[in-house]
Each structure stands twice: as structure tokens, then as C-alpha cells.
Amino acid sequence: MTCPRSTYVQAAGFEIHVTEWGDPEKRALVMWHGLARTGRDFDEAAAALSEDYFVLCPDTPGRGLSSWARSPEAGYSYRVFGEAALGLLDHYRIDSLRWVGTSMGGLIGITLAAGALKGRITRLVVNDIGPDIPAEGAGRIASYVGNPPVYDTIGELETWLRGNYAPFGENTPAFWRRMADSSARRTDDGRITVHYDPAIVTQFTVHKADLDVWDKYDMVAAPVLLIRGEHSDVLSKETAEAMTRRGPRPRLVTIAGCGHAPTLANGEQIQLLKDFLAG
């Protein structure tokens, strides 16, 4: 099995941490995570897909091992994240790519596929997100993102992650342990909290327009696969069905037994990605 490589790239004024998988000579695939997560969430899928692709899993600015914004209100926006993505592609000299985006990563993918990367993103996977987000789902996410927990041990953090992210559905113990390992950072007093800047919650206050992208969605020309968790409170069934009738008119696949968002970590979901990305 391919082993990941950890590297750092300067882009959009940030030091971006990237987990690389596979041979750089192969076709490029970018996998972009959700709001308060990291690129390590894709380990299972990236390992499998690296058989056919050079896979890049960045940590968004303010998350994981990437640097934090000096001015959160200016730095944590889809415009800046898009600039970071363009900087990464320039660094790796990538012209054409496929994109898999979970939640926030899906909206960034839509925004880029309709704009700066139109014609360069050749296949787009949008995982459990749509051009508008129900207030209930947005409120649930904002409530915990802006108030990160603090614990004495990694074990306590893992228990919190398992509960808070129960909508992810069934995952292996190894998945949850890695999630705890890659989600943790020490506070100044040596305790444990999550590995992101709490100020990323400004996405729901200062940059609300980033979350309403119907106009950009309608401009996407690349083939799109839309994935929805059966019980998702972020991508409603009605919005998902509306998406199939306009814009790129994607194929919609509903993943049973989970909410927001499918982890793309098991064999069935990875095969779904393989089949679509292969085209």
C-alpha cells in the first residue's frame, strides 16, 4: 500500500500542509475536507485512489497543520481558499485535475469549477453539501465549531469526536483513533483541544454569501457526482433533487445509515469514487 508523504507549500500567504499520496507523474486528484476537519480524513480513500492518481489532501488554512490567518475575517473565505488551491496547483505544476470535496470542500470545488478552474477540473465529486444550507444544519455546526472542547486526554477527545461526528455513520476503530490523533493539539496549559482556529466560525457570520452558490453551481460544466447522507441535515433531500435538475445535473447517490457527511472510507464508497473519477 502507498505510504503518505507530509509536505508544506506556501500559497495565498499561508503555509499549507499537504498529505501527498502516490506517483506525481500520474493524473492529479485533489481531496478537500470539511469545515473543521483536516486532509487526513481521506486517508483510506486516498490510499486506494493513489493506485491511479497523484492525490493531494491539503489542510485548509486555520486547520490541521496549516498556518492560521492573522486576520480571520479576511483570511477565512472561499476566495482565499480558492487562491490557496491555485497556489498549490502552481507549486505542483498541475494543469488538469479531478476534485473530491466533502462539505466545505465541495462548495470550494463548485466555486472553482465555475470560475478560476473552469475547464481544468474535469470531474467533480460533491459530498453532502449543496448551494444552500438549511439553517438547522448550519446552526448545529456553528455551535460546536465556535466553542471547541478542551480535555485532559486524547481518549476523552476521541469519545467527543465519536459522539459529535456520529452522523459520519459506521467507521472502524482505526478511523476514529486516527481522527483523534490528527484532530488534537495541546493548549498552553498542556490540555487537549481540536486542531483548528475557533475563528473559522466566521464562515457563518462574515462570509455567509460563500454558502449560497446556486449561480456558480449553474455554471459548472464538468461531470459531477453528488453524494448525500441519508439523514443529512446539511444537504436536504429537496435540495439534492433540485441539483439533479439544473446546472451540471449530477448523478445523485444516497448513502444509507449516515448523516452529514459520508466519510468515503469504506470499500463501497471508495469504489463509487473510483468508478466516477475514471470516467
Contact criterion met (CB below 8 Å) for 28 and 97 = yes
Contact criterion met (CB below 8 Å) for 264 and 100 = yes
How do residues 151-176 score in pLDDT, each as one tens digit?
Answer: 999 999 999 999 999 999 999 999 99
DSSP code at position 51: T
Q: What is the pLDDT of residue 134?
A: 87
Q: What is the pLDDT of residue 279?
A: 87
- pTM, to two decimals: 0.97
What sign does the dihedral 93-95-101-106 (CA atoms) show? Answer: positive
How many of the other CB atoms lie within 10 Å of CB of 46?
26
Give the amino acid at 233. Answer: D
Top-confidence range, 136-145, 201-210, 268-277: 268-277
Helical pair 173-183 and 154-164, crossing angle rounded to 10 deg: 110
Q: What is the pLDDT of residue 1?
A: 58
Give percent above pLDDT 70 in the chain.
Answer: 100
How do residues 117-143 score in pLDDT, each as one tens digit?
Answer: 999 999 999 999 999 898 888 889 888
| 71 pLDDT more than 90 | yes
The correct answer on CATH 3.40.50.1820 for the domain covering 5-133+212-278 is yes
Of the listed ranges 172-186, 204-218, 262-276, the least confidently predicted one is: 204-218
Q: Where are the domains of the chain?
A: 5-133+212-278
